[in-house]
Structures are given as C-alpha cells and as structure tokens.
C-alpha cells in the first residue's frame, strides 16, 4: 500500500484527546497536523506524547520573525524531528534561507532527517481588500504566485496552498515542490466553514502531494471509519 497523503488536523489543546485520536488513526492516515493551539498549550512534551504514536507530524507553527530568530526556532524544532514545519513566506528570502540552512545544519549534527519547510503564502482568510490594506499586491493570484516562487528560490521544500490554487501552482512551479493542501472535503462530509473545497481524489488528480483533513475525520462518530473511507476512495480513484 502506498503511503497515505493525508495529514489529519488535530485542532484541540488537549493531549489526551489528541492521543486517543492518534491511536485510532495509526495506519489509516499518513500523519498528524499539530498547530499553535496544541503546541502552545502542551509544548515539546505534548508533541512527544503524540510523536510516539508512529505517525509523522506536520508542525504548523507559521514562523515569522527576523532571520536569526527564525533560524533559532527551526534549530529548536528540528530536534523534535517533525516531517514538516511552516514558515510565512512574507518574512522574506533572507528569513527563509536562514530557516532552510538551520534545518539542514541541525539535522546533520543530530544525524536525524531534516524537517521539510513549507511556505505559507497568503492566508485564505484574507481577501484582495485586506492585501491592499497591508500594502501587498491586491491581485491575490499574483501575490500567491510571487510568494510561492520566492519560497522555492529561497530553499523551502514546498508551500501550503488552497485547493483552487493547485493546478496553477503545479503548472508554474513544476514537480518536486511539495503542495500541502487544506480545504479538502469528501462528498459525504459537511463543508463547515471551508468555502471552496475539493474532494481528496480531485485534489490529488490536480497535483497535490499531501492533504490536510480535519473535521471530516475528527468530528465523525467513528474517526477511524471516516479515515478508512477516505483512504478507500483515494485508492479507488487511482485504480
């Protein structure tokens, strides 16, 4: 069986709830996404409690600071051995380069795998007016493309992007640059607050590498069953 592309978003501040979910999902998803809510409540100890469950971790910290500080944060976080870490591409090329170098050097020193660094381009909560208000290009697609290309030129491994950006970004950036995609909904799941969604199979067919799926799994009566159903749908669409 090929590795699952799915990272399940564990949006809870509670270690026990996260651990119980993780143990039910082992073997059914490709990893877990932990965000600031969990990490700021539980720190590295909470992280280790989940990392012991044999599921790779995507640590969604959205780092953004001066290059020296972000490099230090990446050094600290590399010691935890996450599969992916996010940083804001709008922090600029020097910050992203410092982060990439810190990840490489620290992993080499520890003899551990390097975390893959993903750029966050434009938050999907922002619209064109918001971009203009902070002095950025109000042409949303142009701003996303610019930050995606800057991420790649600065040595990051990929970006987080929304479902409707997959096709365009894959065409512009080519292969070998990771597209991690939230906003994914199986047909049978509620959209919740996600506005423009694609199904897992649609997103993969357009060129996504990994999918972030939260509530369709975490809020299901039986999360393992929901994860299995998604995995089955993905493998059917490949056959």
- Which C-beta is closer to ligand C5P: that of 57 or that of 160? 160
**Is 62 one of the annotated active-site residues of the chain?**
yes
Where in 42-101 is the site for ligand C5P (CB under 6 A)?
Answer: none
Question: In b/e form, how buried is each residue of 188-205, taking b as 16+ CB within 10 angstroms?
Answer: ebeeeebeebbbbbbbbe
CB of 9 to ligand C5P, least distance (A): 4
User: Stretches 21-29, 90-98, 165-173, 211-219: which one binds ligand C5P (CB under 6 A)?
Assistant: 211-219
Is residue 148 close enough to count as binding ligand C5P by CB under 6 A?
Answer: no
Report whether 19 contacts 48 (CB < 8 A): no
Is residue 35 close enough to count as binding ligand C5P by CB under 6 A?
Answer: yes
Is residue 119 close enough to count as binding ligand C5P by CB under 6 A?
Answer: no
CB of 75 to ligand C5P, least distance (A): 25
Is residue 194 close enough to count as binding ligand C5P by CB under 6 A?
Answer: yes
Q: At what angle do helices 93-110 and 67-78 cross, to 10 degrees?
A: 30
Dihedral class, residue 92 (left if φ above 0, else alpha if ψ from -120 to 50, else beta)? left
User: Stretches 17-25, 200-208, 209-217, 224-232: which one binds ligand C5P (CB under 6 A)?
Assistant: 209-217
Is residue 11 close enough to count as binding ligand C5P by CB under 6 A?
Answer: yes
Phi, psi at 60, each rounded to 5°: -95, 80
Taking only Cα atoms into account, the Rg of the chain, rounded to an integer number of angstroms, comes to 17
- Which C-beta is closer to ligand C5P: that of 78 or that of 218? 218
Q: Looking at 82, 91, 115, 182, which residue binds ligand C5P (CB under 6 A)?
A: 182
Is residue 212 close enough to count as binding ligand C5P by CB under 6 A?
Answer: yes
**Token pair recorded at residue 9:** 């978003």
Is residue 215 close enough to count as binding ligand C5P by CB under 6 A?
Answer: yes
Q: Which of 62, 97, 109, 195 is catalytic?
A: 62
Closest CA to 118 of 175, 166, 58, 51: 58
- Going by C-beta distance under 8 Å and a sequence separation of 6 or more, which residues neighbour residue 76? none
Whole-number Å distance between alpha carbons of 104 and 58:
17
CB of 112 to ligand C5P, least distance (A): 26
Q: At what angle do helices 166-173 and 140-153 cross, to 10 degrees?
A: 40
User: Stretches 41-49, 103-111, 210-218, 226-234: which one binds ligand C5P (CB under 6 A)?
Assistant: 210-218
Binding site for ligand C5P (CB under 6 A): 9, 11, 35, 124, 160, 162, 182-183, 192, 194, 212-215
């Amino acid at each position: 069986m090929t590795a699952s592309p799915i990272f399940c978003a564990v949006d809870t501040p509670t270690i026990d709830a996260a651990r119980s979910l993780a143990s039910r999902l082992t073997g059914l998803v490709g990893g877990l996404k932990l965000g600031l809510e969990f990490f700021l409540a539980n720190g590295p100890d909470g992280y280790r409690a989940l990392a012991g469950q044999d599921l790779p971790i995507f640590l969604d910290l959205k780092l953004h600071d001066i290059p020296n500080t972000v490099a230090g944060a990446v050094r600290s976080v590399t010691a935890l051995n996450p599969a992916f870490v996010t940083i804001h591409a709008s922090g600029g090329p020097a910050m992203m380069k410092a982060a990439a170098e810190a990840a490489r050097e620290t992993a080499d020193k520890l003899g551990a795998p390097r975390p893959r660094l993903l750029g966050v381009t434009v938050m999907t909560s922002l619209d064109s007016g918001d971009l203009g208000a902070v002095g950025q290009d109000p042409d949303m697609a142009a701003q996303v493309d610019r930050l995606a290309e800057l991420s790649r030129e600065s040595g990051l491994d990929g970006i987080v992007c929304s479902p409707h950006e997959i096709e365009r970004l894959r065409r512009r950036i080519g292969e070998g640059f990771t597209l991690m995609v939230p906003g994914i909904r199986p047909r049978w799941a509620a959209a919740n607050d996600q506005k423009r969604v694609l199904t897992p199979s649609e997103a993969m067919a357009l060129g996504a590498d990994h999918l972030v799926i939260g509530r369709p799994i975490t809020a299901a009566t039986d999360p393992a069953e929901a994860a299995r159903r998604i995995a089955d749908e993905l493998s059917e669409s490949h056959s």
